[in-house]
Amino acid sequence: MNARAEASGGRLDTIKLAVAGALLAGGIFAFYFFADYSTLLRVIGLLVIGGGAAVIALRTAQGRRLWQFIGDSRTEVRKVVWPTRQETIQTTLVVMAMVLVLGIILWLFDSVLMALVRFLVGRGG
């Protein structure tokens, strides 16, 4: 009995997702079909249709899992200890200095190799 109810819920979820997808596809089609109308009205209409499709999709098992994942992600982001402004500036300056130093080292290495190749080929200086 439980398997039958679960299969029925799965079919209903599939139908809901198909309706949400069709609604969204219809909204996108209408957005381009009514190109003569105001862009603002078309965008508002597309947002309303997209919101309706999202509500329908969130009523499925996959949608509930997605919403739970989003909630869990927000909880984890709140736990992160973000760097202070001073730490961010210091880290950025260190990275920029290292990039500059590494760029100079690579330029010198390239110059030495180019001089060596010119010497071996017999062109130049």
Helix/strand/coil (H, E, C) string of 3-64?
HHHHHHHHHHHHHHHHHHHHHHHHHHHHHHHCCCCCHHHHHHHHHHHHHHHHHHHHCCHHHH
pLDDT of res. 5: 47
Place of tokens 């009514």: 34
Q: How confident is the model at residue 122 (pLDDT cuts 50, 70, 90)?
A: confident
State the virtual CA torsion across 13, 71, 51, 23 in degrees, nearest 10: -30
* Residue 106 parent element (H or E): helix 85-121
The number of folded domains in the chain is 2
Same domain, 55 and 17: yes
Same domain, 27 and 57: yes
Same domain, 74 and 119: no
pLDDT of res. 10: 84
Same domain, 72 and 86: no
Which pLDDT tens digit goes with each residue over 26-75? 999 999 999 999 999 999 999 999 999 999 999 999 999 999 999 999 99
Same domain, 74 and 23: yes
Same domain, 72 and 98: no
Domain region containing 115: 82-125
pTM of the model: 0.56
Which pLDDT tens digit goes with each residue over 95-119? 999 999 999 999 999 999 999 999 9
pLDDT of res. 123: 76
DSSP 82: P
